[in-house]
Structure 1
């Protein structure tokens, strides 16, 4: 039988509430991974038992011994196929923004300048499989005798190392201290993950990603994550900066546009000819409003200063965007009174 004619089943994961579709020809782990659900695994052959789940309801098949799995029994998702709609219990799979922050000591793998004031930092956790986070979340760097410094994670959750983009101009004392510490030290104490403006699975609507400055780091995490799934939704990235040299990975974003048919990139640069940069991100907001998006059928993720985020949010809600489709961590750490 052609696989396109095989039935597909809905799989629900508790307590996260995440749902996805599993075809009869795929194991539950592969089907979950294809839509970006982060089920822990190592071996994919039923030995490591990291992808263990408990069957709450429905009918499933153990593909190793071809036996039907009884309700209430444990199963390995890599060795299980759906025979009906399923409900599973997997405590290791968390809903978006629900991962509890944990402290880790990370090894500093690399620190390098990628623009006149932005550094790319690469960190390695000795026990990477113990860490679960979602695309779009952020972390805290904890230096001795200093307040935590927060930075967006720029890498996908599936990557073995953690990438950061840190803007550290000479007059930004706290960020410069972090770069100095990372450059001179072999390890650093971090705490993660933080943030609710993230993705735990493939989106159901087209995405608009809007970043100002190093807010691009959060969007890079989202894009890298989505490119590793079977995402069929369109994704459009707006990246606003004051000067051409501030768009530190413009070539990367342009390459995404060439390689990924569903993706488009619109740079918004203050010193482009005929542009008028107001200092309050009005130009970026205008570019988003002029995009022609169907505001009733889109999901928006924004990273930037509170002033930019709230200006954009007000404009999009007035244009018809439902409030529950606007996501930004600013709404959590800098709420309006």
Structure 2
């Protein structure tokens, strides 16, 4: 059985089967709706349910609060149509023509960036290249059917290898393999590019970027893309970590600031109580950003990092004047069968 879904404001119509989510049906038919983790954890795919009914199974998705649901919002990566639907969600034209591929890749380089972050560089077959937008991610497909999602840290123009920043998650089977047994020349299978977290180049507003931990990876790709394309917009990067060691590309960012006057940089440490030599910001990164920019209405904000950071920052940023259409985020969901 299938139902008709009308996407507003575009007016596009599509068919959704009763065994697929609204998002899966949209992607299958070439409609680029926003999404991130695809497991209900990040909230990137949230939109408005204008008419009709959807079902989420036995549990409401984590990123959909009772208040959201009462306000008529839905998470389309987890929503299954029970009737014909009218939904309101922005379509993203930039990803429409990019082909998602499943490809083999070889690990050609492994670099320890600090105590718990490894840089992996993957090489595709000689006849293949991955077309992607700065900020998107790929899935590594494991042999048991599970997948692990990692943002592409390299920009599209630097695609000879794909750069991933892998944080060692305690108890994580794949990340433990990366840190303990994986060697260069190892073969993996990937699927991508995925996601709708990418730089919107049709805006001229100044940009605020906020990273938590390895959430720096997609922002690195965006920044390198900005520099390569000579995009002349003011950018202020905030990077929140626990300790100074976790700022694994701090010197690189400072070098960019010296070379590109449009870029400002504020690192923020949340657990620097014993670091008496640290003269920078301390506390929560989103609170530091709001002290500097109490009115966000004239900015585009890009944030990526762990779900608690996204969950804390999103409502506060909106309360400080940021329109939802100017907020773009990637929640690094660490679920066992999703993202590490």
TM-score, length-scaled by structure 2: 0.63
Q: What's the counterpart of residue 176 of structure 2?
A: 176
**More deviation, 183-192/212-221:** 183-192
Query: Which digits, 9 at most, give the CA deviation of each residue in 1:115-169, with x for residues without a partner?
Result: 0111011111124764210000011111212510111110001112111110115
Q: CA, structure 1 residues 152+320, in 2 after alignment: closer, same or farther (shift >3 Å)?
A: same
Q: CA, structure 1 residues 262+156, in 2 after alignment: closer, same or farther (shift >3 Å)?
A: same
Q: CA, structure 1 residues 95+242, in 2 after alignment: closer, same or farther (shift >3 Å)?
A: same
Alignment map for 1:26-105 (pairs within 5 Å): 95-96=94-95, 99-105=98-104
Q: 3-state SS of the aligned residue for 1:329?
A: strand
Q: What's the counterpart of residue 121 of structure 1?
A: 120
- Give distance in 2, aligned partners of 1:322 and 1:229: 26
Q: 3-state SS of the aligned residue for 1:141?
A: strand
- Give distance in 1, aligned partners of 2:332 and 2:253: 26
Q: What's the counterpart of residue 286 of structure 2?
A: 285
- Give distance in 1, aligned partners of 2:248 and 2:333: 27
Post-superposition shift, 1:331? 10
- Give distance in 2, aligned partners of 1:317 and 1:253: 28
Q: Which runs of 5+ in 1 are unaligned?
A: 1-93, 276-280
Q: How many equivalent pairs are there?
A: 237
- Give distance in 2, aligned partners of 1:219 and 1:262: 15
TM-score, length-scaled by structure 1: 0.64
Q: CA, structure 1 residues 165+333, in 2 after alignment: closer, same or farther (shift >3 Å)?
A: closer
Q: 3-state SS of the aligned residue for 2:94?
A: coil
Q: Which has the larger radius of gyration?
A: 1
1:202 and 1:231 in contact (8 A); partners too: no
- Give distance in 2, aligned partners of 1:243 and 1:143: 32
- Give distance in 1, aligned partners of 2:152 and 2:303: 14
Q: What's the counterpart of residue 52 of structure 1?
A: none
Post-superposition shift, 1:99? 2.9
Q: 3-state SS of the aligned residue for 1:121?
A: strand
Q: CA, structure 1 residues 136+316, in 2 after alignment: closer, same or farther (shift >3 Å)?
A: same
Q: What's the counterpart of residue 140 of structure 1?
A: 139
Post-superposition shift, 1:170? 5.0
Q: 3-state SS of the aligned residue for 2:157?
A: coil
2:209 and 2:301 in contact (8 A); partners too: yes
Q: Which runs of 5+ in 2 are unaligned?
A: 1-92, 276-281, 336-340
